[in-house]
Amino acid sequence: MNVFNDNSLAIGRTPLVKLNRVTSGNVYAKIEARNPSFSVKCRIGANMIWDAEKSGKLTEGKELIEATSGNTGIALAFVAAAKGYKLTLTMPSSMSLERRKLLKSLGANLVLTEAPKGMKGAIAKVEELMAAEPGKFVPLNQFSNPANPEIHVKTTGPEIWNDTDGKIDAFVAGVGTGGTITGVSRYIKEIEGKAITTVAVEPTDSPVITQAKAGQELTPGPHKIQGIGAGFIPENLDLDLVDEVEQVSNEDCMAMTKLLMKEEGILAGISSGAAVVAAKRFAEKPENKDKVVVVILASGTERYLSSPLFTGEFGEQEEVQ
């Protein structure tokens, strides 16, 4: 029978869709919301737990623990539920209400941290919880765990390469942990040997990748693009693989996310809007005419209904006409 033994094995094989109306460039969107828990993080959630099993770190009675902005946590929670593991997650309280509800519904123990402290505060809370109960937890460390970019070398990169028949010229992705952009670029540049242009996307209000590439002091700041812009350079982000960096404002990001829904029929998440803004800029430059540009759409819209994406969009009760 053509079946999966559990839901974590159903990751990947997501579609590549041409964008026809939001850009005049040759841009193709990889829609990662088609994964089992509806984001690109499904891939790393599964692989980090598989790796913990294989390494012998995850044994009976141990509990998984991780800091998350939401989508990695949801991915870990669905895998943990499918495989019968306990999971504690720390998350900034600024993340959307939908994310909190999903995490609790999947059985995760959710610990909210102070919003102004961002992901650094969530990571610090993991360290505090582990110190309070030594030996109880197995940390997954998505920002530094090599199993994160590894799954993109094994799956996402080959999928993009095969679906474009090797014709990809540029790869655009928002940067959270750095795993997607590193893994896909590593596969195409180092394994397939094609010198594509890799474009990293970050919030205008927290331009730490731009600063790091320029050798400047990092000045992270608050922003509204959930899922990217952690405010530091993750170990899993290989800056040597990044050729260009595009900064996207909150306003441009939100506008494009809405445009993707209305003009392309694509229910994309907030960071996906930012990535498409960057892909559009790149693809519409005269020197990039006809280049094949692939952009990652990391998650779907439904996870952001209570976020600023929909502020003022609808009243509590729509008027009957």
In three state form, how does the secondary structure of 44-79 look?
Answer: HHHHHHHHHHHHCCCCCCCEEEEECCCHHHHHHHHH
Catalytic residue among 8, 206, 271, 272: 271
Q: Which residues sit opposite 88 in a β-bridge?
A: 65, 109
What DSSP state is assigned to residue 95?
S
171 to 35, 147, 151, 275, 280: CA distances (angstroms)? 20, 21, 17, 10, 12
For Cα atoms 105, 106, 110, give the angle at the middle one, nearest 5 degrees.
80
CB-neighbour burial class of residue 5 (10 A; exposed 0-12, middle 13-18, buried 19+): exposed
Considering only CA atoms, which of 35, 7, 11, 38 is closest in space to residue 302?
38
Considering only CA atoms, which of 61, 111, 71, 62 is closest in space to residue 91?
111
Q: How far apart are CA 17 and CA 48, in angstroms?
A: 28
228's tokens: 């990217």
Catalytic residue among 41, 125, 280, 291: 41
41 catalytic, yes or no?
Answer: yes
Considering only CA atoms, which of 298, 223, 309 is closest in space to residue 259?
309
How far, in whole angstroms, is CA 74 from its chain's centroid? 12
Element (H, E) at 64: strand 63-67
Start-to-end CA span in the chain (Å) = 50
Q: What is the dihedral of CA 14, 146, 67, 228, to 10 degrees?
A: -50
213 catalytic, yes or no?
Answer: no
> Residue for token digits 């030996």?
135
* CB-CB contact of 91 with 122 (8 Å): yes
CB neighbourhood size of 191 (10 A): 12
Active centre residues (catalytic): 41, 271
